[in-house]
Structure 1
Amino acid sequence: MAELLGPLLLFAVVMVVSPGTNNVLATTSGLRFGLRASLRLLAGLGLGVVSLVVLAALGLGFVVTAVPHTQTVLRALGTAYLLWLAVRILRSGRPGPAAARDARTFTTGLLVSWLNPKVWVLALSAVAGYSAIAADPLVLAAILGGVFAAVIVPNLLLWCSCGQLLAAKLTTDHHWRVANTVLAALLVVSVVPIWLE
């Protein structure tokens, strides 16, 4: 068991830190609203990832892979939601003085994670690759959940902080349009791998 914890931690870091939908949204929120106003969103994103990993370890992964068309439905719902978010980011301008009150909510973060096929792949891969860590599904769920929580919290804080630092450099409406366009495009591009798997 102990010999698998190092590789599991490395797997979690690679899967969580790599650019993707959750990290783009964390960066965008930091850019538009700042770290403090983004904490609810970050909590939703983080809990969404950890809860899917835990549920996959408890058997949900079997249901998703066994029931026909479940993966296609998840991909379609996830794609639609992420494209809707991308359009909202693209249409947004420079944040005004009251922008923090418009920050994304905990529920938004949770939905983004739950509808994000990359997170489903992460959860199912973690269970498939590291189920030898514990025979008891509850113990496996606790270990996987703990490792992913330990990785995702600092990761989301870092991506969000980078967005906040970038916001200080955006001094004109043109800069904001460019930043919003790039972030919306990154969100759209993050959808492509969903359909290539």
Structure 2
Amino acid sequence: MSQTIFLAMFSFSLAMSITPGPVNIMIVTSGINHGFTKTFSFISGATIGFTLLLILIALGLSSIYEQYTDVFLILEIFGALFICYMGYKIANSKASLEVKDEDLKYLKFHEGFLLQWLNPKAWIASISGVSMFSQSKTALIVFVCIYFFVCYMSLSFWGVLGQKATRFFSTNKRLQGFNILMGSILIFSALSIIITNFYTKY
């Protein structure tokens, strides 16, 4: 495998992982509210969930996707509703800089895992990546390994970024405003997915 293909795999993985999306928004929000350590479980779930999706796409799930588009349309709508729910949870989360640890509601591993499977961006990235780098089994294995590493590092970057931004959100009022903003963005992005799917279908 040439160095050019290796670099292309890395560049594609980085571009798809580091750019803002529902998962990244939730990670940076959690990083600001709870810190990187408490967000790492969600990051791990999102990374492993996406990697498993990528592997299954490589094993032929994309062909099923093409045959049963209506089923996956329902899955995308369900995913958008789940993102709306997570946005609601963020917007209504308790913004307190001195809240007790047992009162905090951290993002869980399974939420990150599930969100990737319900995230249209993850499906697009997986199908596009597999179609681009399926020259051989070796190439696919290398691509999956690169994507796993790059995804972990990119999502961790958003978590660290959120933790560093806590200096700015030094008051409960700022933190509450940020949570409402991020929750609203998530809900808006989810609703736009539903509307886009509706107009594409009808």
Give the TM-score, by structure 2 length. Answer: 0.87
* Alignment match, 2:132: 129
**How far apart, in 2, do the equivalents of 1:29 and 1:193 lie?**
23
The answer for the alignment partner of 1:85 in structure 2 is 86
User: Percent of pairs identical after alignment?
Assistant: 23
C-alpha root-mean-square deviation of aligned residues, in Å? 1.9
Alignment of 1:85-124 (within 5 A): 85-95=86-96, 96-98=99-101, 102-124=105-127
Going from structure 1 to structure 2, the CA distance change for 1:174 and 1:18 (only over 3 Å counts) comes to: same
The verdict on how the C-alpha distance between 1:160 and 1:99 changes in structure 2, with shifts beyond 3 A counting, is farther
Q: Contact 1:37–1:100 at 8 Å: present in 2 too?
A: no
Distance (whole Å) between structure 1 residues aligned to residue 34 and residue 91 of structure 2: 15
* Contiguous gaps of at least 5 residues in structure 1: none
Counterpart position of 2:59 = 58
What per-residue deviation string (whole Å, max 9, x for no partner) do you get for residues 95-145 of structure 1?
41316852111101101111101100100011112212x1x3xx3542222
- Identify if the C-alpha distance between structure 1 residues 20 and 65 changes in structure 2 by more than 3 Å, giving closer, same or farther: same
Query: What amino acid is the match of 2:68?
Result: V
The answer as to whether partners of 1:93 and 1:176 remain within 8 angstroms in 2 is: no
Give 1:169 deviation, angstroms.
2.2
Q: Distance in 2 between matches of 1:177 and 1:104?
A: 17
Residue 189 of structure 2 is aligned to residue 190 of structure 1 = yes
Tell me the SS of whatever aligns to 1:131: coil
Q: Is the 8 A contact 1:46 1:153 kept in 2?
A: yes
Q: Counterpart of 2:158? A: 159
Amino acid at match of 2:119: N
Q: How many pairs does the alignment contain? A: 193
Could you tell me which runs of 5 or more consecutive residues in structure 2 were left unpaired when the two chains were aligned: 198-202
Runs of 4 or more, structure 1, over 6 Å off, are none
* Shift in CA distance, 18/189, structure 1 to aligned 2, threshold 3 Å: farther
* Partner AA of 2:163 in structure 1: Q
CA contact (8 A) 2:51 2:148 kept: yes
For 1:187, give the aligned amino acid: L
Cα separation, 2, equivalents of 1:14 and 1:23: 13
